[in-house]
Amino acid sequence: MAEPRIHLEGAREKPLEFSGETTLSGADLGGDPLVSLSPVRMSGTITPVDQDYLLDGELSWSGELACSRCVSPYAFSEAIPLHLRLRKRPAAPGKPEKGRAAEAEDQEIEVDPGEIDVVSFDEPVLPFDEIAREQVLMALPMKPLCREDCRGLCPECGRDRNVSECSCETRPVDPRLEVLKSLKQEV
User: Would you kindly state where each structural domain of the chain is located, as residue ranges?
Assistant: 8-139, 151-187
Nearest CA to 117 out of 153, 81, 164 is that of 81
Nearest CA to 33 out of 124, 129, 107, 141 is that of 141
pTM for the complete prediction?
Answer: 0.72
Q: What is the pLDDT of residue 175?
A: 79
DSSP the chain: -PPP--BGGGGGTS-EEEEEEE---TTTTTSTTEEEEPPEEEEEEEEEETTEEEEEEEEEEEEEEE-TTT--EEEEEEEEEEEEEEEEPPPPTT--STTHHHHHHHS-----GGGTTEEEESSSB--HHHHHHHHHHHHS-SS--SSTT---B-TTT--BTTT----PPPPPPPGGGHHHHHHHHH-
Q: What is the pLDDT of residue 100?
A: 44
pLDDT per position in the chain (187 positions), as tens? 556 777 888 888 889 999 999 998 877 787 778 888 999 999 999 999 988 999 999 999 999 999 999 999 999 999 999 999 988 888 766 555 554 444 545 566 666 776 778 888 888 888 888 889 999 998 989 899 999 999 999 988 889 999 998 888 777 777 788 788 777 777 7
Q: What is the pLDDT of residue 94?
A: 59
Q: What is the pLDDT of residue 54?
A: 93
